[in-house]
Chains A and B, each alone.
Chain A
């Protein structure tokens, strides 16, 4: 039988506010254990949570970027469960009045993934299991999270990965999270079920937790889908349960069954007041949202005439896109700029993170100056490359390296003169050319380039050289 996969995602994104959601402790990643803590975030009795204004703003920004409706009235609730990573024995989260509802993400295959809701909540502490002991670090406890819940709209692993990449890029663009999977600031649980193709009903689903990379998500989902199909084919039944993905063995294993499903006994958090967001506030926040990556991509392809591959590479990192756009001000074409960034500048970075940070010694103004010289024909491509190399190395401007001589350009007359000289000083090459060795011209062009310090137009030089050789005979 043919099966169709049905998946839904719950994605947790750590917000990059300076402080935790309910206290002034720093949200910085790492640090010695239990040094980013205070009585509020370790849940001491008698403490009161104080909601961070930026958390609400960031969550609404995320909601708007994902086409959500922003709830006029929202509130916080207590989600009760007893586990050592949660010192209060409840997590302050949102239950029936999330901040954002009914959004969507459009995928490249034309399918639309519905977003059910986005709510804010606090992260839990971190349990460290070592040598048979369990140690707890509460530095992460109280770090603000948004949970983005999707509809069960995914039909393939590829769709899941594209959606997550989209979320990651969008959150980075609006600046609400760095979404680093390896540091846990982007995490997701996947609900997976299978059903016979054509069936309208959903199969029994399992939830896979603990996935911290796109590769793991891919592997875990593929494994789980096959496991469910094999189970059904062999006459068995999928049980509703929570499963953990073990990346060393590549399999998913049962964590807890339906009978152990949590009974969270949600109720309103009495220590926090209503979050009220009117249209005026929503409009204010809307203005904070920059052009999003997918819009930029469309514009780069349509208005700048870039290829999809190049445009994608440029928009993938917000800082690169910003640099690119500032560097091409008042230029006729942005091709040179795109090429120099993607070939030369990118070759200086080894990791994705370095590209993300995009720390270079060249300012967009300096880049723009160089590009203008190139576009005006005052310097040629190879000179521009060499100059940019030097600029990246030293942080100086193009004009610090290029002499008056370099920038004067080369008139056709001057070029012709150099070509004549080239032919005269290399009689062998000229003869070889006449004997049918086309390649001989290359060495003559090389001579011209060297003589003109790279300022010559190679095509034009070739034409002149050939004319000169032919006219002599």
Chain B
């Protein structure tokens, strides 16, 4: 069970504003999501020493410099730009 307080706390942490009307609907959605995710608990893991992604381990990239993007390209999606920087808007958004 997800409590109303937990839901509101999560929204706060994610910087989301939710209205009172939305709370009940979101609670129901959240319940379904958790039920879905909980299926993983029924998987048998007794023979697995430590879970890993597709039984892969030690997949690395070598420490070799590759070209970075141009400043112009990096800032292309920014809402506000100033002197080559991203600028935060009044709501603290990039």
Q: Which residues of A contact B (CB under 8 A)?
A: 17-19, 23-26, 32-39, 42, 44, 50-56, 73, 80-82, 84, 87, 89, 128, 133-138, 263, 265, 270, 272-276
Cα distance A138–B85 in the bound complex, in angstroms? 9
Q: Is the CB of A33 within 8 A of B68?
A: no
A50 nearest in chain B by CB position: B61
A residues in contact with B54, CB < 8 Å = 273
A32/B62 contact (C-beta < 8 A), A135-B86, A135-B87, A265-B13 known: no
Beta-carbon contacts of B63-84 to A below 8 Å, as 1s and 0s? 1111111110011010000111
A34 touches B64 (CB 8 A): no
Least distance between B1 CB and chain A CB atoms (Å): 18
B83 proximity list for chain A (CB < 8 A): 33, 135
| B36 at interface by CB-CB < 8 Å | no
> Is A25 within 8 A of B68, CB to CB?
yes
- B83 to nearest A CB, angstroms? 7
Report the bound CA distance from A454 to B39 in whole Å: 90
**A residues in contact with B52, CB < 8 Å:** 273-274
**How many of chain B's residues have a CB under 8 angstroms from any CB in A?**
37
B35 to chain A, nearest CB (A): 18
Task: Give bound CA distance, A34 to B61, whole Å.
Answer: 23
What is the bound-complex CA distance between A44 and B68, given in angstroms?
A: 14
Question: Complex Cα distance A185/B74, Å?
Answer: 25
A-facing mask of B9-28, CB < 8 A → 1, else 0? Answer: 10001110000000000000
- B94 contact from A26, A51, A54, A84, Cβ within 8 A: A84
B71 → chain A, closest Cβ, in Å? 5
Report yes or no: B84 in contact with A33, Cβ–Cβ below 8 A.
yes
- Find chain A residues with CB under 8 A from B68 CB: 25-26, 35-38
Can you name 7 extra interface pairs (CB under 8 A) apart from A84-B86, A87-B94, A263-B9? A18-B63, A56-B60, A128-B85, A135-B83, A263-B13, A273-B54, A273-B59
Which of A37, A54, A87, A138 makes the CB contact (< 8 A) with B63?
A: A54
Would B60 and A53 count as touching, CB distance under 8 A?
yes
Chain B's closest residue to A82 (CB) is B15
B53 within 8 A of A: yes
Query: B58 in the interface, Cβ–Cβ < 8 Å?
Result: yes
Beyond A25-B68, A273-B52, A273-B56, whether A134 also contacts B87 by CB under 8 A is yes
Q: Verify B57–A276 contact, CB threshold 8 A.
A: yes
Q: How far is the CB of B73 from chain A (nearest CB, A)?
A: 9
Q: Do B74 and A138 touch across chains, with their CB atoms under 8 A apart?
A: yes
Closest to A53 in B: B60
For residue A273, which residues in chain B have a CB less than 8 angstroms away from its CB?
52-54, 56-59
For residue B87, which residues in chain A have a CB less than 8 angstroms away from its CB?
133-136
Query: Is A51 within 8 A of B60, CB to CB?
Result: yes
A84 to B94, CA, bound (A): 7
Q: Which residues of B contact A136 (CB under 8 A)?
A: 85-88, 94
Could you list 26 A-B pairs, sorted by A, with CB under 8 Å? A17-B63, A18-B63, A19-B65, A26-B68, A33-B83, A33-B84, A33-B85, A34-B85, A38-B66, A38-B68, A38-B74, A42-B74, A53-B60, A53-B63, A55-B63, A84-B86, A134-B87, A135-B83, A135-B85, A135-B86, A137-B85, A263-B9, A272-B53, A273-B56, A274-B57, A274-B58
CB distance from B46 to the nearest CB of A (A): 17
Q: Min CB distance, A77 to chain B, in Å?
A: 13
Which residues does chain A contribute within 8 Å of B58, judged by CB atoms?
273-276
The answer to whether B92 touches A51 (Cβ under 8 A) is no
CA distance A136 to B85 in the complex (A): 5
| B75, A84: Cβ atoms closer than 8 Å | no
User: Closest CB-CB distance, B92 to chain A, in whole Å?
Assistant: 7
Residue of A nearest to B69 (CB): A38
A11 to B78: give the CA distance in the assembly, Å: 33
Judge whether A275 and B57 touch: CB under 8 Å: yes
A52 contacts B71, C-beta separation under 8 Å: no
Are A19 and B56 in contact, CB atoms less than 8 angstroms apart?
A: no
Task: Report yes or no: A73 in contact with B61, Cβ–Cβ below 8 A.
Answer: no
A-B interface, 7 closest residue pairs, ranked by CB to CB distance from nearest: A24-B66, A135-B85, A53-B60, A50-B61, A54-B63, A136-B86, A134-B88
In the complex, what's the smallest C-beta–C-beta distance from B23 to chain A, in angstroms? 19
Tell me, rounded to whole Å, the shortest Cβ–Cβ distance linking A256 to chain B.
14
Write the nearest CB–CB distance from A76 to chain B, whole angstroms: 11
Q: Could you say which of B50, B56, B63 has the most chain A C-beta atoms within 10 Å of its C-beta?
A: B63
Q: Are A52 and B60 in contact (CB under 8 A)?
A: yes
* Contact residues in A for B63 (Cβ distance below 8 Å): 17-19, 52-55
Identity of the chain B residue whose Cβ is nearest the Cβ of A128 in the assembled complex: B85
Question: Shortest distance in angstroms between A136's beta carbon and chain B's nearest beta carbon?
Answer: 4
Cα A272 to Cα B61 in complex, Å, equals: 12
Q: With the chains together, A23 CA to B71 CA distance in Å? A: 17
Q: From A28, which residue of chain B is reached at the shortest CB distance?
A: B65
Alpha-carbon gap, A439 to B89, bound state (A): 81
Residues in A neighbouring B15, C-beta threshold 8 A: 82
